Structure 1
Amino acid sequence: MTAVDDLWYLADTASQQAAQAYHRLSERHEEYLETSHDERVSRRRFRTLARRIDRFGAPYGAHTLVHRPGEVLLCRHEGVDLWVLPGGGVDAGETFHETARRELAEEAGVDVRYDGLGLLSRVEVRCPGHRTWGVLPVYAARAESHDPTVNDPDGEITAARWFPFDDLPDDTRDRSDLRAWFERFGRE
């Protein structure tokens, strides 16, 4: 007897949750940059991400694009060996905005004033024979304090630093999205 592959069902319900999350976010916010990303993953990773999407609508939680004139705050994430925006997974009962705030406090510890949603990405996730999608909300926030302090309970974030938008490290995740956001909104 063969086992029934439940990934098709999980992928379908995850896509429905993503659509609901997308509509809630797009109805609450007016000006933001929309982007999309396509990820091909293993079957095991697909199941993990689809479960997150099914639960929260998002495979990677929520993030914050912290900026000050001409610069963005990035965190060094050792797990992926990249400079990334502060952010992470949603906890039960949290909104995306609450997640972004909590993760920013843990990973960079700067005080900010949130401007609203800065980026809304559609993340397509695929493995052989299956596909789903989720949202990645990135809130924009102006820095009110400027000295980052890492206090990451997971130990994944080892540094937080300011970088000029026009001179981001080569190993910056979503580098083109950050530059596009700056060109559209950061020069105001």
Structure 2
Amino acid sequence: MMAVDGLWFLADEATQLAEQAYHQLTDAYGMPPLERTYQKRVSRDRFRTLAERIRHNGTPYGAHTLVRRDRGQLLLVRHDGVDLWVLPGGGVDGSESFREAAERELDEEAGIQATYRGLAMLNRIEVTCGSCSTWGVLPIFRAVADTTTPAVSDPDDEISAARWFDPEGLPEDTRDREDLIDAARAMV
């Protein structure tokens, strides 16, 4: 019984940090054009991992960037761990801001420099395990590429490629494909 209570307490603390992160982001950048909610049912161990991440900074998966270049194409990276095309992004290190994390991850995963222009999306990730639940934010920043030749230098060795795609021609194996197409349309 004690382990369940401990998990509940962790979930409660994580939820409080998620609320703070959400308000911090909306205060700094305003309401984004799109918000989505994703629900994840996970194992007890995975729940603990995600809740601890959220308790640390409000996000289970860090910050990401939806970056376009002048021809309207979007940058995606190939994440070998999930075998999908995804937006560049990842965890928040130490005391860096969400935007600083997004910029660092964009540089590491794709070697691209960009001008940031607010939030493209602010997603809510709801995580559940049995009777315990919490949620965290997933900020996706909007940016325009300053450099356009990708060069992967991912220190985690999770990213194997970075490529530009037309928004209407995103690969079928793109994570949250339809939501990314909607976000790209909203950026025009």
TM-score range, shorter chain: over 0.9
In 2, Cα distance between the equivalents of 1:98 and 1:169?
Answer: 28
Question: Which amino acid is the alignment partner of residue 183 of structure 1?
Answer: R
Aligned structure 1 segments of 4 or more residues deviating by more than 2 angstroms = 2-5
Give ranges in structure 2 of 5+ residues lacking alignment: none
Work out the CA distance in 2 between the residues paired with 1:160 and 1:179. Answer: 18
Question: 1:119 is matched with which residue?
Answer: 121
Q: Aligned pair count?
A: 185
Which residue is equivalent to 1:44?
Answer: 45
Greater alpha carbon shift after TM alignment, 84-93 vs 65-74: 65-74
Quote the RMSD (CA, aligned, Å): 1.1
In the alignment, the residues of structure 2 paired with residue 164 and residue 88 of structure 1 have an alpha-carbon distance, to the nearest angstrom, of 23
Please give the alpha-carbon distance, in whole angstroms, between the structure 2 residues aligned to 1:130 and 1:82: 29
Residue-by-residue CA offset, 1:123-176 (whole Å, 9 max, x unaligned): 001111211000000111101211100000110000000011001111101112
Paired residues of 1:64 and 1:139 also in contact (CA < 8 A): yes
SS at match of 2:126: strand
Structure 1 letter corresponding to 2:95:
G
Could you give the per-residue CA deviations for residues 43-82 of structure 1, whole angstroms, max 9, x where no partner exists? 1100000000001100000011111233100000000111
- After superposition, residues 1-188 of structure 1 pair within 5 angstroms as 3-5=2-4, 6-32=6-32, 33-68=34-69, 69-185=71-187, 187=188
The question of whether the paired residues in 1 share the 8 Å contact of 2:106 and 2:113 is answered with no
Alpha-carbon spacing, 1:12–1:3, altered in 2? closer, same or farther (3 Å): closer
Which of 31-40 and 119-128 deviates more?
31-40
TM-score for the superposition, normalised by structure 2: 0.95
SS class of match (1:124): strand
Identity rate, percent = 56
- Tell me, what secondary structure is at the counterpart of 1:12? helix
Gaps of 5+ in 1: none
Q: Deviations over 1:65-115 (max 9, x none)?
A: 111233100000000111000100111111101100111110001121111
